[in-house]
Amino acid sequence: MIELLGGILINPYVLLLGGLVILALGGETLVRNASGLALKSNISPLIVGLTIVAIGTSSPELFASLQAAWNDSSGIVVGNVVGSNIANLGLALGLTALVRPMTIDKGGVKLDWSILMVVTVLFGVLALDGVYSRIDGVIFLGVMAIIMFGQVIRSRKMKLAQVALKTPSENLNGFDQYARKSYPVLFLWITTGCILLYYGAGLFIDGASNLARDFNISEHVIGVTVVAFGTSIPEIVASVTAALKGQSELSIGNIIGSNIMNILFVLGVTTTVSEIEIDPNMITGDFWWMLGTTALLYPILTVGKKVSRIHGAIYLSCYVVYVWLALT
């Protein structure tokens, strides 16, 4: 009986399903309490998405990359970051827009897109020598510190503007009960949501990786597809959940912020622990997909007032083509 139960628990399909259930619960917990924090602090949901939620949903990428670095699986480390960024836009943004078109603040989001684009180019420039050194890691973390400091200043200015206009944060109706919680309780529930997302993603990755290895897929391909998809599920769940609750700013802020954190935070921490060799295929192929999907966001943010279902379909199609090319 025990052996049968053990066999069921390590079954890849059971791991996949269990991981998805935990991820859904974690996404719900994270979004509700992050929205309550934004309402209580009178901070823009976009800023909360770019910082707290983005760091939380990027934690699976961080731990997966650290584990891969310690196991000398450098292909998975860089592939996970690049693949996750492509998946965040292609899948998270694509699926979220298909489920519910997202109304955006073009001025604020375009600024954050500019930061993401600069960070993506920095990723490519530092990769030209074929290795991410510890110095590169310090550079990534230094840029992250500057950006986070800028976001703090930006949130204060936005708060002062809202107070002057006597307008609360937008799109937060229905979250008053969470805003009534104390700050320690809110941060406790946000942390709980992140932990659920982390363990849910871990179960999903274990199940997906076991299935992938049955088909003799290379380490690099596993990194940019299976592991990247698994570690991007928190972003997908959090963004879709936020969109369904009318939290467009929180949703798109989470996606853009997570891509910034994947490069600066995940690679920064990982490469300060261990130098990472870069697969030439990443520089000549995957990086350009990441740069292209990031650049594609600019015309979407420039034309119109929302990320529509058509935009979502375009991004989802790009991701399908990318995965198909990676697997062939």
In a domain, 1, yes or no: no
In a domain, 3, yes or no: no
- Measured CA to CA in angstroms, residue 303 lies from 162, 210, 298 at distances of 26, 43, 9
Q: Domain containing 79 — which CATH number? A: 1.20.1420.30
35-58, pLDDT tens digit by residue? Answer: 777 777 776 666 776 677 677 767
In a domain, 8, yes or no: no
Please answer whether residues 280 and 74 qualify as being in contact, where contact means their C-beta atoms are separated by less than 8 angstroms: no
Helix-strand-coil split of the chain, %, nearest 5 = 85, 0, 15
How many angstroms separate the CA atoms of 31 and 36, rounded? 8
Residue 116 — very low, low, confident or very high, per pLDDT cuts 50/70/90?
A: very high
Domain that holds residue 262: 13-327
206-261, pLDDT tens digit by residue? Answer: 776 676 666 676 666 776 777 777 777 777 777 887 777 777 777 788 888 889 98
In a domain, 5, yes or no: no
In a domain, 6, yes or no: no
Residue 8 has pLDDT above 60, yes or no: no
Most confident of 21-25, 72-76, 140-144: 140-144
Residue 320 has pLDDT above 60, yes or no: yes
In a domain, 165, yes or no: yes
In a domain, 4, yes or no: no
Residue whose C-alpha is closest to residue 140's, from 164, 165, 123, 118: 123
Give the pLDDT confidence score for residue 7 in this predicted structure: 53
In a domain, 68, yes or no: yes
How many angstroms separate the CA atoms of 37 and 133, rounded? 37
How many angstroms separate the CA atoms of 85 and 223, rounded? 12
First-to-final CA distance of the chain: 42
Residue 135 — very low, low, confident or very high, per pLDDT cuts 50/70/90?
A: very high
Q: What is the pTM of this model?
A: 0.76
How many domains are there within the chain?
A: 1
Residue 156 — very low, low, confident or very high, per pLDDT cuts 50/70/90?
A: low
Please answer whether residues 255 and 113 qualify as being in contact, where contact means their C-beta atoms are separated by less than 8 angstroms: no
Residue 191 — very low, low, confident or very high, per pLDDT cuts 50/70/90?
A: confident
Please answer whether residues 91 and 314 qualify as being in contact, where contact means their C-beta atoms are separated by less than 8 angstroms: no
How many angstroms separate the CA atoms of 56 and 59, rounded? 5
Q: Percent of the chain, pLDDT > 70? A: 76
